[in-house]
Amino acid sequence: MSLALFSAVTCYLFAAGWACTRLIRDLPIGRVLHVLTAIGFGFHTLALLQITAAAGHVPLTTQHEILFLVGWCTISLYLILHTWMPMDQGALFLFPLVVFQMILFIFLPESATAVATPSGTWLKAHLALLILAYAALGIGWVGGLMYLIQERQLRQQRVSRLLRFLPALERLESMHFQCTLAGFCLLALAMLGGLVWHREVYGTWLAFNLKIGFSFLVLASYGAVLVARRLWSYRGRPAVLLSSVTFVLLMFFLLVANIFAKLGRI
């Protein structure tokens, strides 16, 4: 593990710890969180540049590399969203998720099976859009998690420091579904790019396997929730819970797919 990667993980953990400490003491998070996040992201970017330089290309060729890039894009999107929608509270939930991704990158053996050689415009577009989709869905999941926690406490008529710490339910639900919608659109475009690339390389639009089948299932699940929300005002806890569970299943499948790729099963 490089020094830059270790420093990034340390800063993110300290940032999440600082947010937790301020929650316990019921105090504003303050600028310390912003400073720790900025320093951590700087080291994270440096680690990305080091990995890119060592590999000689943007880390897109294996699921192992993509896992790292998803974490970097997630923090990037978090910082962009923070400029118009303050999300300090999200650090308590988002940073441990990113650190978990980075720990998997550090300790899991790198897959010898490449996702694909990143040559061709369509394949590059497919992988880039896929990573952005995972980042957007990840932030949406964090917003959904905060929503479910607060909704449960309100339903049980419990007033805690965590309840005062979190944003309003309407704001969390809006953030959750805006990020989910963005992730859904990016995921759909990524799959389209993958189909076009498959057509160019293999002469067919689709070769069904477990990964493709699960991808369509995830896309259909997110699409059903978004359409129901738009047409029939399907909102609140059931909608947020369904889309949040879909994200958890997506992350679980990616981990399983990485393991099976090493065994040459998928």
pLDDT digits (tens, 9 = 90+) for 21-37: 877 776 666 788 888 88
**Any idea which residue has 């393991």 for tokens?**
259
Higher per-residue pLDDT: 175 or 210 = 175
30: tokens are 């303050």
Enclosing domain of residue 233: 60-263
Asked if the structure places residue 26 within a domain, the reply is no
Asked if the structure places residue 42 within a domain, the reply is no
3-state secondary structure of 180: helix
Asked if the structure places residue 25 within a domain, the reply is no
Q: Structurally, how many domains does the chain consist of?
A: 1
Q: Classify residue 238 as exposed, middle or buried by CB count within 10 Å of its CB (0-12, 13-18, 19+).
A: exposed
pTM: 0.80
- pLDDT greater than 90 at residue 45: yes
Identify the CA nearest to 190 among candidates 256, 251, 122. 122
| 201-209: average pLDDT | 69
Identify the CA nearest to 218 among candidates 142, 133, 93, 115. 133
Asked if the structure places residue 40 within a domain, the reply is no
Say if residues 11 and 39 touch (Cβ distance below 8 Å): yes
| Rounded distance between C-alpha atoms, residue 238 and residue 251, angstroms | 20
Q: pLDDT at position 258, please? A: 56
DSSP state of 20: H
| Rounded distance between C-alpha atoms, residue 206 and residue 204, angstroms | 6
Percentage above 70 pLDDT, the chain: 80
Asked if the structure places residue 254 within a domain, the reply is yes
Say if residues 133 and 181 touch (Cβ distance below 8 Å): no
| Rounded distance between C-alpha atoms, residue 105 and residue 103, angstroms | 5
Asked if the structure places residue 17 within a domain, the reply is no
**Any idea which residue has 């600028």 for tokens?**
31
Asked if the structure places residue 30 within a domain, the reply is no
Q: pLDDT at position 207, please? A: 64
Q: CA-CA distances (angstroms) from residue 263 to 65, 246, 260?
A: 18, 26, 5
Asked if the structure places residue 106 within a domain, the reply is yes
Give the angle 39-58-131 at the CA atoms, nearest 5°.
75
Sorting pLDDT into bands at 50, 70 and 90, what band is 113? very low
Q: Is 38 left (phi over 0), alpha (psi -120 to 50) or beta?
A: alpha
